[in-house]
Amino acid sequence: MENKIFNEIIVNSCVLEKRIAILEDHNLTELYTEKVDKQIITGNIYIGTIKNVLPGLGAAFLDIGLDRTAFLHFKDIDFNFLEKKIEGHYNSSQIGKILKPGQEIVVQVKKGPIGKKGARVTGSLTIPGKFLVYMPFQQKVAISKKISSQTERKRIHSIFDKIKEPSVGIIVRTDTEGHSEEDFLQEYQSLEKTWKLLQKQIKYAKVPDCIFEENDLSSKLVRDLFNSNVDRLVLDDKKLFNKIIFKLKEINPDLISRIEFYDEDSPIFDAYGVEKEISKIFQSRIYLPSGGNITIEHTEALIAIDVNTGSFTSAKNYQQTIKQTNLEAAYEIARQIRLRDLSGIIILDFIDMNIAKHRDEVFQLLKSNLKRDREKNKVYPFTHLGLVQISRKRARPSLMIVHSESCPYCNGVGRILTKDSVVILINRWIHRARFFMQNETLKIYVHPSVKVFLDNNPKSLTSDTVPFEVFADSTIGIDKFKIFSAITSKELTEKYNT
């Protein structure tokens, strides 16, 4: 019987970025980041106002609170969400008889703004879950075509004949294959509660307003991450804390007792040991407990992970040394795949094992640890060359893509931190040092390109307690910074780093 894993979610919020850390037995296994300037609005639901109706285009333009008006075509209107009941049949040229300037309407973003074009929206709303997509007023049950087994399709249909309200539509996703009726019922009831909460928000929202953010942290936490298997959720943002409690009251009130608000002086990720682990994410070499190591290399076609014994020679014999190193590597590789969000084709080169039983132990450990992965993956057995292949679904950009950019000095061969990521690091430095800097004024030196970014985004670097000045220094790397005391001229950079 497996020991129960203690699961925690730690959430950190700052000016430019919010981060979610997933910990299993106090070890960091997953990290999600949301940068303020790169928020995805596709899937968000808004209540907006009709600004213009253009019968020639068969479309209307709406104010939903974004920089540019959103585009709604006649074919995307859902008559169930109109204030007045529409009788009879209309075509696109008669859109002016259905929609009027000043009229309020509920829509969902199909496609985000691109260039000078505003968002494309639809009146047909959908609420996504892990296994299902909930569609108010659609009635039908649509099962993913990738579920090809007719027996499985009939089983799923029979389940929803029992649990689904007739006025509700459901899309059944591919990953639901083989799930029990209880799994479907739990998800369906959760989505139903979300819809009831949305109906309340539609009734009381101030127009224009976003009433459902599909991709924001609170939605991701409640929908995808925070469930009965999580022992504790800790947040350092009071607004986000209250937002999640508000949602859980409607969806799953039993979980509220597991939420904690963190208001200590030390940064939350420092207190839980997360920051030190994050600092290792961009390192290619990871050391194992017994002295071995693994190296992770990215290529255009695949990701290669190599296992080495390193300094580990303490086992009784050579084969035992190899087995122990490979077992430690299997655990760490599974963790790094989840943590770094590695995807596509991943090739593992374990140290050669002559004993079949040892190979099987390593393979089974790797597979069992990857079962906890939220993304779909498949692990293939050892080849005759001693390699293990993993295919993993790409669901979002990897942390390396989000937080780094091509290095201008090596023609894109290497990567360095993005400018906003450097500013985030400086913010964290100031937050970590602020209680020791009460009588100090700081001088912060950065690369000229980072200084330009700060000049264009003055609110991205702030401190209420520690005054500072920022200076450009071309001798400093683009992804580096230096901090000095303005009074003593002493460098303080390393003193308050992670």
450 CB neighbour count, 10 Å cutoff: 28
User: What local confidence, expressed as pLDDT, does residue 348 receive?
Assistant: 96
Q: Please indicate, yes or no, if residue 312 is contained in any of the structural domains.
A: yes
User: Region 47-68: what's the mean pLDDT?
Assistant: 93
184 has a pLDDT exceeding 70: yes
413 has a pLDDT exceeding 60: no
Q: What is the pTM of this model?
A: 0.68
Q: Please indicate, yes or no, if residue 130 is contained in any of the structural domains.
A: no
Q: Please indicate, yes or no, if residue 79 is contained in any of the structural domains.
A: yes
Tally the domains of the chain.
4
User: What local confidence, expressed as pLDDT, does residue 403 receive?
Assistant: 62
1 has a pLDDT exceeding 50: no
Q: Are residues 423 and 378 in the same domain?
A: no
Q: Please indicate, yes or no, if residue 110 is contained in any of the structural domains.
A: yes
Residue 483's CATH number: 3.40.1260.20
Residue 330: band (very low, low, confident or very high) from pLDDT cuts 50, 70, 90: very high
Q: Are residues 252 and 339 in the same domain?
A: no
User: What local confidence, expressed as pLDDT, does residue 2 receive?
Assistant: 55
**What 3-state DSSP class applies to 323?**
helix
Mean pLDDT, the chain, integer: 86
List 121's β-bridge partners, or say none: 72, 109
**pLDDT per residue as tens digits for the range 262-290:** 998 888 999 999 988 887 887 889 999 98
Instruction: Please state, in angstroms and rounded to a whole number, the distance separating the CA atoms of residues 41 and 20.
Output: 19
Crossing angle between the packed helical segments 181-204 and 238-251, to the nearest 10 degrees = 120
Instruction: Please state, in angstroms and rounded to a whole number, the distance separating the CA atoms of residues 153 and 96.
Output: 42
50 has a pLDDT exceeding 70: yes
User: Region 133-147: what's the mean pLDDT?
Assistant: 88
CA separation (Å) from 6 to 3, 9, 28, 82, 105? 9, 10, 12, 48, 45
Q: How far is CA 161 from the centre of its chain?
A: 34
User: What local confidence, expressed as pLDDT, does residue 407 receive?
Assistant: 60
**pLDDT per residue as tens digits for the range 334-379:** 999 999 888 889 999 999 998 999 999 999 999 999 988 888 899 9
Q: Are residues 23 and 49 in the same domain?
A: no
- Residue 392 phi/psi, 5-degree rounding, is -135, 135
Instruction: Please state, in angstroms and rounded to a whole number, the distance separating the CA atoms of residues 198 and 126.
Output: 11
Closest CA to 326 of 347, 306, 343: 306
193 has a pLDDT exceeding 90: no
User: What local confidence, expressed as pLDDT, does residue 408 receive?
Assistant: 60
User: Region 431-445: what's the mean pLDDT?
Assistant: 86
Residues 6+ apart with CB under 8 A from 445: 470, 471, 472, 473, 476, 481, 482, 483, 484
- Residue 271 phi/psi, 5-degree rounding, is -60, -35
User: What local confidence, expressed as pLDDT, does residue 399 receive?
Assistant: 65
109 has a pLDDT exceeding 90: yes
Which residue range forms the structural domain that includes residue 107?
A: 45-122
User: What local confidence, expressed as pLDDT, does residue 411 receive?
Assistant: 46
Residues 6+ apart with CB under 8 A from 357: none
416 CB neighbour count, 10 Å cutoff: 20
Q: Please indicate, yes or no, if residue 133 is contained in any of the structural domains.
A: no
**What 3-state DSSP class applies to 457?**
coil
User: What local confidence, expressed as pLDDT, does residue 268 receive?
Assistant: 93
List 28's β-bridge partners, or say none: 23
Instruction: Please state, in angstroms and rounded to a whole number, the distance separating the CA atoms of residues 260 and 230.
Output: 13
CA separation (Å) from 49 to 54, 62, 78, 494? 15, 5, 15, 52
Q: Please indicate, yes or no, if residue 179 is contained in any of the structural domains.
A: no
- Top-ranked range on mean pLDDT: pick from 167-181, 187-201, 331-345, 433-447: 331-345
Report the chain's terminal Cα–Cα distance, integer Å.
38
Structure token pair of residue 42: 């596709």
Q: Please indicate, yes or no, if residue 167 is contained in any of the structural domains.
A: no
Q: Are residues 355 and 290 in the same domain?
A: yes
Tokens 């020991």 identify what position?
3
Stronger pLDDT, 242 or 310, i.e. the higher one? 242
User: Region 447-467: what's the mean pLDDT?
Assistant: 89
User: What local confidence, expressed as pLDDT, does residue 131 receive?
Assistant: 78
Stronger pLDDT, 256 or 400, i.e. the higher one? 256
Q: Please indicate, yes or no, if residue 477 is contained in any of the structural domains.
A: yes
Whether the Cβ atoms of residue 255 and residue 245 lie closer than 8 Å to each other? no
Residue 257's CATH number: 3.30.420.60
Per-residue burial over 76-113, b if 16 or more Cβ lie within 10 Å, else e, is bbbeebbeeeeeeeeeeeebeebbeeebbbbbbbbebb
**pLDDT per residue as tens digits for the range 65-79:** 988 999 999 999 988
